[in-house]
Structure 1
Amino acid sequence: MPSGSHPDRRSLLRRSAAAGLLALPGVSALAACASGGGNEGAVEREAATDANPFGVSSDAGLEVVIFNGGFGEQYALDAEQIYQGSYGPVDHSATQEIASRLQPRMVQGDPPDVVNNGGADAMAIAGLLANRQVHDLTELLEAPSLDDPAVTVRETLRPGTVEKGQFGGDFGEGFYQLNYAFTVHGQWYSRAALARLDAEYPRTWEEMLAVCEAARRAGMAGWTYAGQYPYYLAFTLYPFIAKIGGAEVLRAIDNLEPNAWRHEAVAAAFSAYHELTARGYVLRGTPGLSHEESQAEWTAGRALFIPNGSWVENESRETTPDGFDMAVGPPTGLDEGDALPFGTLWACADEPFLVPADAHNLPGGLEFLRIMLGRDSARNFTELVSSLSCVSGAADGLDLPPGLASATQALDAAGENTVNPRLRDWYRQLHDVEIGGAVARMMAGEMEPEEAVAACQRAADAVARDDSVPKFRHA
C-alpha cells in the first residue's frame, strides 16, 4: 500500500516516539494523559459537495492504524483502495500494540487520522474523552451515505450502533466511537461434537451440568476460556446475570450503584460458574491459556463450550477442522424462574474506530469511515472475516459460513431481548483487571463465589468514590 507524505513535524515526532523520547521514565501519569499539542498544520477543508461532504483535500495523505486481531487488516486495505481512487495516498499500518504505539503520539498531538482502537492494548476511551482527544463524529452520522445521498449515514446503521458510540454525562449526545462490527456473544460450540454426545443444547443450568458430565465421560471438558483474558467470560456471564435478574441488574452495575454486585442474580450466576470448576468440567490448564490457545483447544475437540464473540470463526479459521460445524447459542439460563427468556444474549456494535481530535487530515478520516460504511465495504467485511457489520442489511443474500449463519439466527431469535453492558467501555481498568481478576480467581478455584462478589463490589465502590475517574451513566 502506498505511503502518504506527511509534514516534517509528523515524521520527526514519529521517529522521536519510536526512540522512546516521548515517554521518558519519570514522566508523571498525569502528564502521560494530558491532551495533545493542538492541531498545528492540519489540512484545511475544501468546499463541501454531495460527493465530498467533508471537503477532503485530494493532495493530503491519510494515515490509518488498524488493530490486527481477529478481523485482520484486509478489509481496511480494501476500503483504503476506494479512498485512494478519489483522494490522496494512504499510510497504512497494523498492530496489536495500539496503546503502546499510539498513546505517546496522542499526547504530543501527532496521532494518526483514523485509529481502530481494539484489542487488549486498546487506549482507554474514557481517558481520551476526558482529555478531549477524540473528534465528535456526529457530522459523519448526518452526512449523506455513500450509496444513496438521500439517506444519511445514521439511517444505514443497525439499532444500537449510535448508542454504543455515545458516553453521556459531560459528553452529552456526542458520537465519539464508531463500532464497525456487529458482534453476537454467546456459548460457541461444535454442532458435530454435541451430536456425538447425543445431547441437546442446554437451556437450564441443570441441563448444562448434564451435558458437561456427558462430555467428560466422552473424554472432553465441558468448557474452556481465555484464562489470560478473563473478561471473555463476561460474554456469557453478564447476559446470564441479566436472564436471572433482569437487564436492570447490568444497568446498576454499569452505573456503579451501591451494592449492585450484591444482587442475588449475580450471586446465583457466580455460584453456577464456580460449579463448573468445582465439578472438574473446565479444561485443565485453562487459567493459563491465551484467547488463541483456548480457541485451538476448543477446535481440537478438547472442550465443548467456549465463551466468545462472532469474530471467533475468522480468528480460529486455521485450526478449525472440516465438519466442525461451528455454532453459537445464547447463554444457558438458570431455571424456569429467569426474568428474561432463554434466547436473551449480548449482541452489540463492536470493534471501535475513532478519529483523533488532533488528526492531521480530519476530513479524510471522516470520509474513510463513510467509505467503510458503504454497502460494498460492509459486504466485503462480512465475506472476509465472517462477521456482521454495523450496516443494516449489508449481509443480505450472502452465503454465510456456519458460525456466522448461526449467530444471525441467534440474533433474529433474540429479537428485542439483547443486552449491551457498558462496564468495559466506561471503566476498562475496573472491568479487565479488578472484576476480571476476581472472576479469574474464582474460576481457578482460588476464591469462593461470595468472595468474588465482595471483591467486585469493593473495586466498583473504589471507582465510584474516585473523583479523578470520569463517570458515565445509562439514561
Structure 2
Amino acid sequence: MTSGPYLNRRALIRRSAAAGFLTLPAVGALASCASGGGDNDTVEREEATDSNPFGVSPDAGLEVVIFDGGFGDQYALDAEEIYQGSYGPVEHVKTTEIQTRLQPRMVQGDPPDVVNNGGADAMDIAALIRNNQVHDLTELLDAPSLDDPSVRVRDTLLPGTVEMGQFGSEAMYRLNYTFNVYGQWYSRTALERLEVEYPRTWDEMIAVCEKAKQEGIAGWTYPGVYPYYFNFTLYPFIAKIGGPDVLRAIDNLEPNAWRHDAVRSAFEAYYELVARGYVLQGSPGLTHEESQGEWNQYRALFIPNGSWVENETAQNTPDDFDMAVGPPTSLDSSDAMPFETIWASAGEPFFVPADATNVPGGLEFLRIMLGSESARNFTQLVSSLTCVRGAADGLTLPPGLTSAQDILAAAGDNLVIPRMPDWYRQLNNEEIGGAVAAMMAGEMEPDEAITRCQRAADAAARDDSIQKFQHV
C-alpha cells in the first residue's frame, strides 16, 4: 500500500531491481557486508521545536515496513494517519519476509525509514548494529513526549524497555513496542472440565497431565518447527530453580553455564512430559499456528507462548475457551525464586536504519506510536500491552490479556529477562532450540541435550566473528 504520490530514489532502485536492471548480492552473502553510509538522498532537518523535536521536513515522504504477523498492521496504519496530519505521505509495506526483502536494501544503503523487525525472517539486529546500519535512538528517548512536552519519552516507558534496546553500550538502537508476558498458556474451561487447579509444582503438573491423559487429552503441545517457543517457559523455569544468575551465566556464554544443576533439573522435568506420553503426538512437526490450533480445540492443556497469542488465535478460539496464562510451574519448595516469577519484557522490535532517507521522520513516527492515542489503540486492536506506562488503564481487556496483567502484577520484582534470544539469535533459535526440540521429540535424553547446548555456546564464545555482549 502506498499513501500519496511518494516516489524517490529508493522507489526507483526497487523498481529497477524488480525489472532486472540492478543486481543485488545474494542474501546468504549479506552477513559480512555493511553499507557504511549509502548515497541515498537524505532529507534535511528543519529547526527543532517542542511539537517537532527532530526537525521533520513538513512534506518529506516516509516509508514504513511492518511485519505482518500476529499483530497485523492496522495499528501502524492508524499511527501513519496521525503522522500524515502534520507531515508528508507514507509508503506502507507489510510483509512476513523482513530479511529476505530488506537486507539487500540495507547493504545497498537504501533502507526504509522505519522497520518492524519481527518474525522468523527477522534480520540479525546485533549484526546490523556492528555494521553501523542502525540509528541510535537516544535522541528519541530524550525528546518531549507526544502527550506532555514536560515529560521525556524515556520517562513514559515501562522498566526494561530501554535495556532491551541496548547492546553492550548506553546507546539504544531498538524500540521494543509491546510488553510481552511469557508463560504457560491454558484454557480455564479445560482445567475446570478436568476439575483440576493450575499446577504450582512439578508434582502437580504431572498429576494434571496424567488426569488429562486418561481423558484422551495431551498435557502439552508446542510448535516443533519453531522450537525456541519452549524457551518462553524453559528459561524462567531454570531461573526459578537456580536463581537469575544461572540465566546471566548462560547469556554471558560462560563455560559450563548449561551444566548447572538448575538446567539439568529443568531439562529432566520437561523430558518427563515426553517419557510419560503427555506431549501431543505430532507436535515436533507443527508450526506455531498449527500447535495453537490444536490447543484451541482442547486437544492439549498447555502451550508455551507469549501474550500475542490471544490476538493471533482470535478467529479460531472457541467462545467458551476463557484463555489465561500462568507462571511456569515451579519444581518444588527448594526453588530459588518464587512461583510468581515470570519472563516479561518489551518485544516486537522497531528500528530506524542509519542510512534511511528520512531519519527525522522515522523518529517522529516512533514518538507517535509511543503517544497514548496510538498505544491505547494498539491494545484495543490486538489484545496486547505496549511498553507505554498506563496506556491500558481503564480499558476493557479480553481474558488472556487480563490474566497477563494479573500475573505481571503478582510477579512484582520477580521478573527475568533472558538476553540470549536477541544477543545470539542463531544460537538461541537453531542450536539451543534444536537441542530442546530433539529432547522433546524423544530423540535424545537430557544429558545429551545439555551437552549439545554447552558445545554450541562454547563454539559461539570462541567465534571471533560473533559480537559478544555481557550483563552489566
TM-score tier, shorter chain, comes to over 0.9
Provide the C-alpha distance between the structure 1 equivalents of 2:256 and 2:157, rounded to a whole number of angstroms. Answer: 36
Given the two structures, how large is their TM-score scaled by the length of structure 2?
A: 0.98
Q: Secondary structure at the match of 1:237?
A: helix
**What aligned pairs does 1:125-164 form with structure 2 within 5 A after superposition?**
125-164=125-164
In structure 1, the residue matched to 2:466 is 469
* Residue from 273, 289, 292 that aligns with 2:289: 292
In structure 2, the residue matched to 1:68 is 68
In structure 1, the residue matched to 2:248 is 251
Provide the C-alpha distance between the structure 2 equivalents of 1:325 and 1:351, rounded to a whole number of angstroms. Answer: 25
CA distance change for structure 1 residues 84 and 277 in 2, over 3 Å: closer, same or farther?
same
Deviation at 1:5, TM superposition (A): 4.6
Deviation at 1:219, TM superposition (A): 1.5
Provide the C-alpha distance between the structure 2 equivalents of 1:369 and 1:13, rounded to a whole number of angstroms. Answer: 26
Q: Secondary structure at the match of 2:186?
A: strand
In structure 1, the residue matched to 2:3 is 3
In structure 2, the residue matched to 1:56 is 56
Q: For residues 11-51 of structure 1, give each alpha carbon's deviation from its aligned partner in whole angstroms, at most 9, with x where no partner exists.
A: 232124446754445984555x3225525310000001111
**What aligned pairs does 1:208-227 form with structure 2 within 5 A after superposition?**
208-227=205-224
1:411 aligns with 2:408: yes
Provide the C-alpha distance between the structure 1 equivalents of 2:141 and 2:279, rounded to a whole number of angstroms. Answer: 44
Deviation at 1:218, TM superposition (A): 1.5
The code of the aligned residue for 1:197 comes to: L
* Residue from 195, 202, 207 that aligns with 1:205: 202
Provide the C-alpha distance between the structure 1 equivalents of 2:244 and 2:179, rounded to a whole number of angstroms. Answer: 20
Provide the C-alpha distance between the structure 1 equivalents of 2:4 and 2:362, rounded to a whole number of angstroms. Answer: 14
In structure 1, the residue matched to 2:190 is 193
Identity in percent? 73
In structure 2, the residue matched to 1:13 is 13
Q: For residues 300-338 of structure 1, give each alpha carbon's deviation from its aligned partner in whole angstroms, at most 9, with x where no partner exists.
A: 000000000000000000110011000000000100000
Q: Secondary structure at the match of 2:324?
A: strand
Provide the C-alpha distance between the structure 1 equivalents of 2:276 and 2:232, rounded to a whole number of angstroms. Answer: 22
Deviation at 1:3, TM superposition (A): 3.0
In structure 2, the residue matched to 1:165 is 165
**What aligned pairs does 1:81-100 form with structure 2 within 5 A after superposition?**
81-100=81-100
The answer as to whether partners of 2:383 and 2:398 remain within 8 angstroms in 1 is yes
In structure 2, the residue matched to 1:79 is 79
1:313 aligns with 2:313: no
The answer as to whether partners of 1:67 and 1:96 remain within 8 angstroms in 2 is yes
CA distance change for structure 1 residues 366 and 30 in 2, over 3 Å: closer, same or farther?
closer
The code of the aligned residue for 1:307 comes to: P
Deviation at 1:277, TM superposition (A): 0.7
The answer as to whether partners of 2:30 and 2:103 remain within 8 angstroms in 1 is no
Provide the C-alpha distance between the structure 2 equivalents of 1:97 and 1:26, rounded to a whole number of angstroms. Answer: 12
Deviation at 1:346, TM superposition (A): 0.3
The answer as to whether partners of 1:37 and 1:108 remain within 8 angstroms in 2 is no
Provide the C-alpha distance between the structure 2 equivalents of 1:29 and 1:91, rounded to a whole number of angstroms. Answer: 25
1:180 aligns with 2:182: no
The code of the aligned residue for 1:286 comes to: S
Provide the C-alpha distance between the structure 2 equivalents of 1:27 and 1:76, rounded to a whole number of angstroms. Answer: 30
In structure 1, the residue matched to 2:428 is 431
In structure 2, the residue matched to 1:232 is 229
The answer as to whether partners of 1:35 and 1:133 remain within 8 angstroms in 2 is yes
Q: Secondary structure at the match of 1:295?
A: helix
CA distance change for structure 1 residues 19 and 215 in 2, over 3 Å: closer, same or farther?
farther
Provide the C-alpha distance between the structure 1 equivalents of 2:34 and 2:444, rounded to a whole number of angstroms. Answer: 38
Provide the C-alpha distance between the structure 2 equivalents of 1:142 and 1:26, rounded to a whole number of angstroms. Answer: 36
Deviation at 1:10, TM superposition (A): 1.0
The code of the aligned residue for 1:456 comes to: C
The answer as to whether partners of 2:30 and 2:104 remain within 8 angstroms in 1 is no
Deviation at 1:373, TM superposition (A): 0.2
Provide the C-alpha distance between the structure 1 equivalents of 2:287 and 2:28, rounded to a whole number of angstroms. Answer: 32
Deviation at 1:280, TM superposition (A): 0.5
CA distance change for structure 1 residues 415 and 285 in 2, over 3 Å: closer, same or farther?
same
Provide the C-alpha distance between the structure 2 equivalents of 1:338 and 1:145, rounded to a whole number of angstroms. Answer: 42
CA distance change for structure 1 residues 98 and 217 in 2, over 3 Å: closer, same or farther?
same
The answer as to whether partners of 1:13 and 1:105 remain within 8 angstroms in 2 is no
Q: For residues 349-370 of structure 1, give each alpha carbon's deviation from its aligned partner in whole angstroms, at most 9, with x where no partner exists.
A: 0000000000000000000000
The answer as to whether partners of 1:258 and 1:461 remain within 8 angstroms in 2 is yes
* Residue from 442, 448, 452 that aligns with 2:449: 452
Q: Secondary structure at the match of 1:389?
A: coil
**What aligned pairs does 1:357-368 form with structure 2 within 5 A after superposition?**
357-368=354-365
The answer as to whether partners of 2:256 and 2:454 remain within 8 angstroms in 1 is yes
Q: Gaps spanning 5+ residues in structure 1: where? A: none
Provide the C-alpha distance between the structure 2 equivalents of 1:19 and 1:329, rounded to a whole number of angstroms. Answer: 52
Given the two structures, how large is their TM-score scaled by the length of structure 1?
A: 0.97
Q: Secondary structure at the match of 1:187?
A: strand
Provide the C-alpha distance between the structure 2 equivalents of 1:176 and 1:356, rounded to a whole number of angstroms. Answer: 9
The code of the aligned residue for 2:320 comes to: G
Provide the C-alpha distance between the structure 2 equivalents of 1:2 and 1:454, rounded to a whole number of angstroms. Answer: 51
Number of equivalent positions = 471
Provide the C-alpha distance between the structure 1 equivalents of 2:19 and 2:236, rounded to a whole number of angstroms. Answer: 44
The answer as to whether partners of 1:39 and 1:360 remain within 8 angstroms in 2 is no
Q: Secondary structure at the match of 1:424?
A: helix
Q: Secondary structure at the match of 2:343?
A: strand
Provide the C-alpha distance between the structure 2 equivalents of 1:176 and 1:155, rounded to a whole number of angstroms. Answer: 17
Q: Secondary structure at the match of 2:147?
A: coil
The code of the aligned residue for 1:450 comes to: D
The answer as to whether partners of 2:25 and 2:104 remain within 8 angstroms in 1 is no
1:123 aligns with 2:155: no
Q: Secondary structure at the match of 2:421?
A: helix
The code of the aligned residue for 1:351 comes to: E
Q: Gaps spanning 5+ residues in structure 2: where? A: none
The code of the aligned residue for 1:341 comes to: P
Deviation at 1:424, TM superposition (A): 1.0
